[in-house]
Amino acid sequence: MTDLELDFQDTATAFADKSDQELREKHRIFRLLNSPILNSLGTRSAKFALSIGLPVEGLIKSTVFEQFCGGETIEECEPTIKRLGASGIGTILDYAVEGRHTEDDFDKTKDEIMRTIDRAKDDPDLPFSVFKVTGIAPLGTLERLSKKKKLDAKSQTKCEHIYSRVKEICSHAYAVGQPVFIDAEESWIQDAIDRLATEMMEKFNLERPIVYNTFQLYRTDRLQFLKDSRRQAKNDGYILGAKLVRGAYMEKERERAAQIGYPSPIHADKAAVDRDYDAAVDYCLNHLDDISFVAGTHNETSTELLAQKLIDRGLPHDHPHVNFSQLMGMSDNLSYVLAKNGYNVSKYVPYGPIRESIPYLTRRAEENSAVTGQMSRELEMIERELKRRKQA
């Protein structure tokens, strides 16, 4: 066994492409987010100010939006794509609008997702594309489909539209050879998403992985689902595309389960989630001929374990079926150090009109106050780098 030489505390590498001024600005924002009171006050007042039409977009844009999003349009993301690419990190353009409701809106979102695929094709700086099914489908229909409820004629038509949008995106991705992730969402709509993703993989993953489904290992049933998905892929002769995440909707899931009175689908504690996450990584590594996977995580231990296991198994750092991924604005210490050491690594770069990116930004802020220590870890890292530069 060769020892791993990754140093995730190497802040000089993590922030090499940030000027002193950019780093100080990042410090200011993360200090704000790190305070539970300011964090909650900030997200609530931003939502309120926008709802009554106060002109706060400029303020949001120059603060949190700039830290976590690439811009309002694909064009505005170009400097971020270039900057990440220069450090060997791929960009995943993530059109982050949420909460749209009309069929016309869903078609427009689908068209924008198609544009992200066109921007990414043939460009090694954009190795993956991504979309959320709720961006192109009504929640109610996804929920009815997930409960396997009988659909009336109106829902049936909506269902056909959902299917044709998903298929249009995936067949375009296939035609231009651009891999695409389908994000995982709340458990009560996920069954419909899983069925769509599986059908798309059956169609488009026969020669190489194009469509990736997402597995949320905070759910008690997902490790088994990963194994079942791989068996199905093997039987049907296609490659399973798997993005492994812990899961972003823990509190919402638990609240709903308690309210309605069914057992929560989420593991009772973090240790069980971590165990399943690392077991899922192992399972994928054991079946690399049949699975191409992405470890979507900011967890340093899981990241280090995976990097070390590649070495232990004598696999190349940049094995084409093994990828690491983080979100823009978070865990640059992992992304930049992995890239410097030749691993496949990419970052989600969310973009879209500020007003419509608020749910995404709120989730990042809330997630970071809920996830013990993530924000203070970021802050601590920035502070250490500021100190190092001062002393240099």
Ligand X SMILES: Cc1cc2nc3c(=O)[nH]c(=O)nc-3n(C[C@H](O)[C@H](O)[C@H](O)COP(=O)(O)OP(=O)(O)OC[C@H]3O[C@@H](n4cnc5c(N)ncnc54)[C@H](O)[C@@H]3O)c2cc1C
What is the token pair recorded at 301? 């231990």
Judged by CB under 6 A, the residue of 91, 190, 325, 344 near ligand X is 325
Could you tell me where the DSSP H helices lie in the chain?
11-14, 20-34, 36-51, 57-60, 66-68, 74-86, 103-120, 139-146, 153-176, 187-204, 222-236, 250-260, 270-286, 300-312, 332-340, 354-370, 374-391
Q: Is 59 among the residues that bind ligand X (CB under 6 A)?
A: no
Q: Is 296 among the residues that bind ligand X (CB under 6 A)?
A: yes
- The CB-based long-range contact list for 229-234 (8 Å cut-off, 24+ gap) reads 229/198, 230/283, 230/287, 230/290, 230/291, 232/198, 233/201, 233/205, 233/290, 233/291, 234/290
Judged by CB under 6 A, the residue of 24, 82, 101, 270 near ligand X is 270
Q: Is 333 among the residues that bind ligand X (CB under 6 A)?
A: no
Q: What is the pattern of x (binds ligand X, CB under 6 A) and - over residues 355-384?
A: ------------x---x--x----------
Could you tell me where the DSSP H helices lie in 98-221?
103-120, 139-146, 153-176, 187-204
Q: Is 269 among the residues that bind ligand X (CB under 6 A)?
A: yes
Are the CB atoms for 367 and 248 separated by under 8 Å? yes
- At closest approach, how far in Å is the CB of 388 from ligand X? 25
Residues 141 to 170: which contact ligand X by CB under 6 A? none
Judged by CB under 6 A, the residue of 187, 190, 205, 299 near ligand X is 299
**Pairing relationship of beta strands 291-296 and 322-327 according to DSSP bridges:** parallel
Q: Is 238 among the residues that bind ligand X (CB under 6 A)?
A: no
Judged by CB under 6 A, the residue of 126, 166, 266, 349 near ligand X is 266
- At closest approach, how far in Å is the CB of 383 from ligand X? 20
Return the range that interacts with ligand X (CB under 6 A); candidates 50-58, 137-145, 285-293, 297-305: 297-305
Q: Which residues bind ligand X (CB under 6 A)?
A: 183-184, 214, 216, 218, 245-250, 266-267, 269-270, 273, 296-299, 325-327, 348, 367, 371, 374
